[in-house]
């Protein structure tokens, strides 16, 4: 029961992190906030690798592509924070989950990132149709804006790509090593982008501190969610874990919208149920296909 509770906490924390990072972006700017998120997130993992004496400077025999997870992670942070304030939190979460689902299907279908091929199950189109209908209904509750919708979807795409790179690095060198480089590379890329945007005025050097101290916790939350995911993956069946994470993120997003706006739009609830049902259906189909493969073997 404890691990199931931790899975729900992980899902909820992921949705809360979108709000925290969005508020940080609103106080500063998108590019400065992204650099700050990576800088803050780098602190605890650096302390950990120092205490555990992880040999993070050992890069021999590791393909350079394995270190790209942090660079792609910058895209995730930017695309998750940018739509905040333009579309609902629940819509951002749902679009991100849809992006993850579609990208995962493509990775499986074509064996991308040197992963084994898993042919597409046409029955999954039903689940995708439910998910798309639910997300469209959630977005319809406010003035439609194409750019935030695309950015939220791209955030989900980048999560899967970053996860693939980080997973390969973790398999070669361990999770702490992979997490540390994720933040180091992410910080380097986000600082470079921020410096490039300074002349245009789109970014500025932080010169003030917000009274809302909680808006600086996004990087720390990222560390917690990664650690909890690593702990939970071998202890909860993938089928159950996926359902908890999908449903927990979507409905936490709905509750956050209600808290932030002071209202509870019915389209968010109905759309969230449809999206969760569609994503859950695809997870069920994956589980059945896996069982058939094991029986055939």
Confidence check: pLDDT of 138 > 90: no
For range 51-59, the mean pLDDT: 91
The answer to the question of residue 203 being in a domain is no
- Region 146-167: mean pLDDT is 89
Cα angle vertex 156, ends 257, 8, to 5°?
Answer: 55
Domain presence at residue 47: no
Q: Is residue 29 part of a domain?
A: no
Please enumerate in sequence order all residues whose Cβ is within 8 A of that of 291, keeping only pairs 6 or more positions apart, or say none: none
Number of domains in the chain: 1
Is the pLDDT score of 123 beyond 90?
no
Confidence of residue 88 (pLDDT cuts 50, 70, 90): confident
Residue 237's pLDDT is what? 61
Residue 40 belongs to some domain of the structure: no
pLDDT of residue 239: 54
The answer to whether residue 184 sits within a structural domain is no
> Mean pLDDT over all residues of the chain?
85
What is the predicted pLDDT for the residue at 144?
64
**pLDDT at 226 (0 to 100):** 75
CB of 58 closer than 8 Å to CB of 18: no
**Residue 150 belongs to some domain of the structure:** yes
Position 209 pLDDT exceeds 60: yes
Query: 84: helix, coil or strand?
Result: strand
**Which residue in 19, 141, 89, 142 sits closest to 258, CA to CA?**
89
User: Is residue 36 pLDDT above 80, yes or no?
Assistant: yes
Q: How many Cα atoms are found within 13 Å in the side-chain-facing hemisphere of 211?
A: 0
- Please say if the pLDDT value at position 42 is more than 90: yes
Query: Tell me: the pLDDT tens digits for 225-284?
Result: 877 876 776 677 655 666 777 788 888 988 898 888 887 777 778 888 888 788 777 777
Q: How far, CA to CA in Å, does 59 sit from each of 23, 169, 189, 295?
A: 36, 10, 19, 41
Q: Is residue 240 a part of any domain in this protein? A: yes
> Rounded CA gap, 46 and 135, in Å?
38
Distance of CA 53 to the CA centre of its chain: 28
Where would I find the H helices in 52-88? Answer: 69-81
The reply to whether 42 falls in a domain is: no
For residue 245, give every residue at least 6 positions away whose Cβ sits within 8 Å of its Cβ, in sequence order, or none: 7, 10, 11, 14
Q: Give me the pLDDT at residue 54, please.
A: 93
Whether the per-residue pLDDT at 114 is higher than 80: the answer is no
pLDDT confidence of residue 297: 64
Burial class (CB in 10 A: 0-12, 13-18, 19+), 57: exposed
pLDDT at 150 over 60: yes
Which residues form the domain of 274? 2-21+58-179+217-296
pLDDT number for residue 234: 62
For residue 96, what is the DSSP state? Answer: H
The more confident residue out of 294 and 68 is 68
| Contact assessment for residue 160 and residue 107, using Cβ atoms and an 8 Å cutoff | yes
C-alpha distances in angstroms, 76 versus 19, 33, 83, 100, 127? 14, 13, 12, 11, 24
């Amino acid at each position: 029961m404890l691990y199931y509770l931790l899975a729900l906490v992980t899902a909820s924390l992921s949705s809360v992190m979108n709000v925290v990072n969005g508020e940080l972006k609103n106080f500063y700017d998108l590019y400065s906030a992204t650099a700050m998120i990576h800088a803050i997130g780098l602190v605890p993992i650096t302390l950990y690798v120092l205490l555990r004496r992880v040999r993070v400077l050992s890069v021999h025999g590791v393909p350079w592509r394995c270190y790209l997870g942090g660079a792609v992670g910058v895209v995730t942070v930017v695309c998750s924070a940018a739509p905040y304030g333009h579309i609902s939190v629940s819509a951002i979460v749902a679009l991100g989950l849809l992006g993850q689902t579609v990208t995962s299907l493509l990775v499986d279908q074509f064996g991308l990132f040197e992963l084994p091929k898993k042919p597409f199950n046409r029955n999954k189109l039903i689940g995708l149709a439910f998910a798309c209908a639910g997300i469209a209904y959630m977005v319809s509750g406010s003035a439609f804006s194409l750019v935030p919708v695309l950015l939220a979807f791209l955030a989900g795409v980048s999560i899967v790509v970053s996860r693939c790179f980080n997973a390969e690095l973790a398999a070669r060198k361990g999770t702490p090593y992979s997490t540390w480089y994720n933040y180091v590379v992410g910080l380097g890329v986000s600082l470079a982008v921020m410096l490039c945007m300074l002349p245009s005025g789109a970014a500025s050097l932080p010169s003030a501190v917000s009274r809302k101290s909680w808006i600086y916790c996004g990087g720390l939350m990222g560390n917690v969610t990664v650690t909890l995911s690593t702990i939970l993956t071998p202890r909860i069946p993938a089928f159950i874990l996926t359902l908890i994470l999908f449903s927990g993120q979507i409905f936490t997003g709905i509750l956050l919208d209600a808290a932030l706006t002071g209202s509870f739009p019915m389209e968010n609830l109905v759309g969230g149920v449809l999206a969760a049902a569609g994503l859950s259906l695809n997870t069920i189909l994956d589980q059945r296909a896996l069982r058939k493969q094991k029986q055939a073997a």
